[in-house]
Structure 1
């Protein structure tokens, strides 16, 4: 029973025409195979044409004419209208048929399409034949190779389907099928072997031009040059970071006088932490720098004779004043011509024979005009020291005196004036500490300029 007949009110159901009797299927008409609907709904043969009155009927030898019905179907009793306030009767399983006609009705030709009387029967058969339809479609769809799978829920063929069945959809309502991506045609050249992988080709279909190859070669060459320069710089830095040998340091120390700025060898200000009497800090300021020259006239005759064995390449001198401007100090550095064994022998001779403590081996001061050291001469020398460096060919000395030009009758070596408890004028005034502290600092600057890795300690002369 259809959905409209199930939920409609029986009072408003239009009369249904009587169903024609089922005609037998001719024996000569073959039934189509593979269509599950033919097992449920069979095709109704066309009605032979009715001859006009007065014309003899021409029988069709191929299709026999079935007998027409003579007895009409029994009429259903009329349904009385419900009383006011009464409950409507329950819906019958089928709609009541029309009242029986008083006399036999003339037969009507069958409709060309599906009549409205068959909608209940079609819905019923379609609901019951759903499983048979799906199984037959699946068997027919999977029979051939490459056949598409059959739909699991076929659409109903009639305008109204069974309850719970899916509505039919037209081709425009179906979702669009995504086409497969087109396959690129093979190259017109040599065809690849079956099963061989496709060889990639240049996007433009041509080989790279000479400009592209040249640019790639330049890029590779540039990267190689940069990498080589970086590797060379790294190796050079590693070589520079390695400690130099004693021979290399000694050879470099011979050239520091013209390869190093004067402010590095003789700084403008020198701070002596704990270099004064009693561990006090001292500060010395440079007031004059002498032009580089030879060693002639720079020493007393006996000191010049003692240093003559080492030779003289250059003599550098500078004069400093202490923070109170009461003392002046001249510092000198003699670049010798001797090798390292000769410098070690000279240091041993000065240490063992105490040549640095003799008052007749005093170095001369540098008295620059217009400075606090203008009156600093031979009589004003109060303390001194001489250092023979063994790791570089340099002899460092320092001599100190009073800035007011007073005469010192008993000069004292710096190593003796810095001893605790000494009450001499050079010791109490700190002139011995000034000479020793400046000589140590200038010797360290020369060693640092030559790249000496260690601080060599020589015996005081």
Structure 2
């Protein structure tokens, strides 16, 4: 609905003057040049308003220019239609309704820029200068740059290295704290007699810290090593019969003397042919039958010539112990006596002679502790040589 105020405002607006009637075109006179002469008037100084156009009344502002359709140039149809021009370097033609960009004029005296040959490759988007008034450059979507790809590769490589190091460290720690395979340890225990130096199985000096009577320290020195051989003639008949079920691969023996050179001890290790169940059954038989405490099952000493043990025979045996190992196929034993060759008619097992409060001659002389301490140490050395965990095995009494 219109109001009087609107009509009043409309009457105050000045009306444009009437347009002059169109003039017929003038024909040039005969002999006159077809191109009008260049105006001789100097150009107006900077800052002077341009002369009014003949088709526009004075005081009427120029109509606003229509907005430029920048979005039209960014459509997929536009780029597909002018892809040949973009690849050839000519550039895309202006969109419909958009004037072509004017060619910049160079100042007088400036050398002209040589035209670019048609076979030259177009400049990369980073080096091309933006055209004034043209659409802004937009990076192609979905195409990662070289820096992005390099950063991603470095990230993947770093994560892989860290993960590999962590996994390697985890596997190393797990292997270091894992329990050795029992079957592999048992199998290696049968080969230690020919793959391990004698000084490892029977050290030259053995220290028994707290192994003597009352917790006193003991030290034993090796004085003789018997040549390795079979088990024939190495035991009394009863003990040989008890160990025959396990079989005999090799028998190793060595004789030691204590620091005072008053006691001698023979330590032996029989490598058996039995498997793990067989060694377990032999250990059970010795334990339940109390075979380790029977005097008719005492092992024999090794009396080496020209040593303090030269007089160490059957009658000189004072204390002994027999250990059936179940984690490796080895039976370890030890037998002790006096170095001066005195006979002894009441031998006592080492387990009984080492009990607290024992007052027998084997207990007070320390011969029971000598037999027990050396048997423990040699059994540990054989386990280490086989790759097993060191532990103390009780006598098979």
TM range (shorter): 0.5 to 0.7
CA distance 1:197–1:426, change in 2 (3 Å): same
The separation in 2 between residues aligned to 1:454 and 1:369, in whole angstroms, is 34
| Pairwise CA distance, 1:419 | 1.5
CA distance 1:385–1:197, change in 2 (3 Å): same
Which residue in 2 is equivalent to 1:193?
122
The separation in 2 between residues aligned to 1:146 and 1:324, in whole angstroms, is 117
* 2:282 alignment partner, SS class: helix
Instruction: After superposition, give the CA deviation of every residue in 1:179-220 in whole Å (9 maximum; x if it has no partner).
Output: xxxxxxx9x99621244568xxxxxxxxxxxxxxxxxxxxxx
Contact 2:380 2:390 in 1 (8 A): no
Structure 2 unmatched ranges of 5 or more: 1-41, 46-103, 109-115, 128-160
| Pairwise CA distance, 1:416 | 0.9
Which residues of 2 match residues 58-73 of structure 1 at below 5 A?
none
The separation in 2 between residues aligned to 1:189 and 1:375, in whole angstroms, is 115
Instruction: After superposition, give the CA deviation of every residue in 1:84-115 in whole Å (9 maximum; x if it has no partner).
Output: xxxxxxxxxxxxxxxxxxxxxxxxxxxxxxxx
* 1:420 alignment partner, SS class: coil
CA distance 1:456–1:285, change in 2 (3 Å): closer
Contact 1:389 1:395 in 2 (8 A): yes
User: Which of 298, 304, 309 is the aligned partner of 2:234?
Assistant: 298
Contact 1:313 1:335 in 2 (8 A): yes
User: Which of 270, 274, 278 is the aligned partner of 2:206?
Assistant: 270
The separation in 2 between residues aligned to 1:329 and 1:272, in whole angstroms, is 14
Tell me the TM-score normalised to structure 1 length: 0.51
Query: Who wins on radius of gyration, i.e. which is larger?
Result: 1
User: Which of 380, 384, 389 is the aligned partner of 1:453?
Assistant: 389
1:393 equivalenced with 2:329 (yes/no): yes
* 1:390 alignment partner, SS class: coil
Which residue in 2 is equivalent to 1:412?
348
The separation in 2 between residues aligned to 1:329 and 1:432, in whole angstroms, is 10
1:373 equivalenced with 2:309 (yes/no): yes
May I ask how many residue pairs the two structures share in their alignment? 258
Contact 2:321 2:395 in 1 (8 A): no
Contact 2:351 2:395 in 1 (8 A): no
* 1:191 alignment partner, SS class: coil
| Pairwise CA distance, 1:289 | 0.8
The separation in 1 between residues aligned to 2:340 and 2:273, in whole angstroms, is 38
Contact 1:389 1:458 in 2 (8 A): no
Instruction: After superposition, give the CA deviation of every residue in 1:134-174 in whole Å (9 maximum; x if it has no partner).
Output: xxxxxxxxxx97779xxxxxxxxxxxxxxxxxxxxxxxxxx
| Pairwise CA distance, 1:393 | 0.5
User: Which of 253, 269, 275 is the aligned partner of 1:339?
Assistant: 275
Tell me the TM-score normalised to structure 2 length: 0.59
CA distance 1:237–1:291, change in 2 (3 Å): farther
